[in-house]
Amino acid sequence: MIELIPAIDIIDGKCVRLTKGDYASRKEYGDPVSMACQFEAMGYRRLHVVDLDGARSRHIVNESTLRAITSATSLKVDFGGGVRTEDDLLRAYDAGASLVTIGSVAVTSPELYVEWLGKYGADRLILGADVRNGMVSINGWKEDSDVHLSDFLSRYMEAGTRNVLCTEISRDGMLQGTAVDLYRQVMQAHPGCYLIASGGVSCIQDIATLDEAGIPAVVFGKAIYEGRVDMKELAGRFLPSDGKGGAAC
């Protein structure tokens, strides 16, 4: 069954959502810690946290908010945004992140990413593959690289990567459905990949379609905050029957 991973994107310590990564489209949705507690209370076990300030600044910015979330909940948190150095990586782990997403570094400093993969292990890293027109984007989606997604994934799957977060940028925040065909292609090419689909979820059926396609996990955010997905209904349908929610903060 597909793993459900609610998303919390952070700017200035607040929960926000963007559209196609455009910072000018920022819309606020309240306190990230409170939101994380609500997800845990409904039975969710994992959380995707993105430091959007960090992605833009090229170093971690909202470390204190990450620490507050991991201190207040028992959620397994994967964190991304602004991780450019080993110091950034260690700060994220120290603040409670179970996994850290590495995107731009894997494009601009391949040797460094492979070094981290060997040093910290495939179970603690996620390869961030943010895609626009088939090419991998970097630096908070502000720049398109000359690296094609298929080459990018092949290189790092061979190096030992297991977890991949693939975001189809044109779908992100649009609430118009996911790039399920793209994700099917990735799984066909790399059946051992733990693929986390991201971008475009607009309703529960979108998640069901990904599940039927055999996609291991999905990150979704705007559909939650815009009331397009009933989180309790979704939990009842896809979360393990023995899952127990935590107490609200």
Asked if 94 is an active-site residue, the reply is no
Amino acid sitting at position 148: H
Average confidence score pLDDT of the chain? 93
Mean pLDDT of the 28-35 span: 96
**Buried-exposed string 215-228: b where 16+ CB fall within 10 A, e elsewhere:** bbbbbbbbbbbeee
* Residue ranges of E strands in 40-119: 46-51, 76-80, 99-102
pLDDT of residue 242: 57
9, 88, 206, 211: which is the annotated catalytic residue? 9
- Rounded to the nearest 10 degrees, the angle between the axes of helix 63-72 and helix 86-94 is 30
Mean pLDDT of the 23-45 span: 95
pLDDT of residue 132: 92
Which three-class secondary structure state does DSSP give residue 37? helix
Task: List residues bridging with 168 in a β-sheet.
Answer: 131
Which three-class secondary structure state does DSSP give residue 193? coil
Q: How far apart, in whole angstroms, are the C-alpha atoms of residue 208 and residue 193?
A: 19
Asked if 9 is an active-site residue, the reply is yes
Residue tagged 């170093």 (tokens): 59
Kindly state the percentage of the chain with pLDDT values over 70. Answer: 96
**Buried-exposed string 99-138: b where 16+ CB fall within 10 A, e elsewhere:** bbbbbbbbbeeeebbbebbeebebebbbbbbbbbeeebbb
78, 130, 172, 206: which is the annotated catalytic residue? 130
Kindly state the percentage of the chain with pLDDT values over 90. Answer: 84
Span 80-139, pLDDT tens digits: 999 999 999 999 999 999 999 999 999 999 999 999 999 999 999 999 999 999 999 987
Q: How far apart, in whole angstroms, are the C-alpha atoms of residue 227 and residue 84?
A: 34
Of the candidate ranges 39-53, 79-93, 135-149, 219-233, the one whose mean pLDDT is the lowest: 135-149
Span 177-220, pLDDT tens digits: 999 999 999 999 999 999 999 999 999 999 999 999 999 999 99
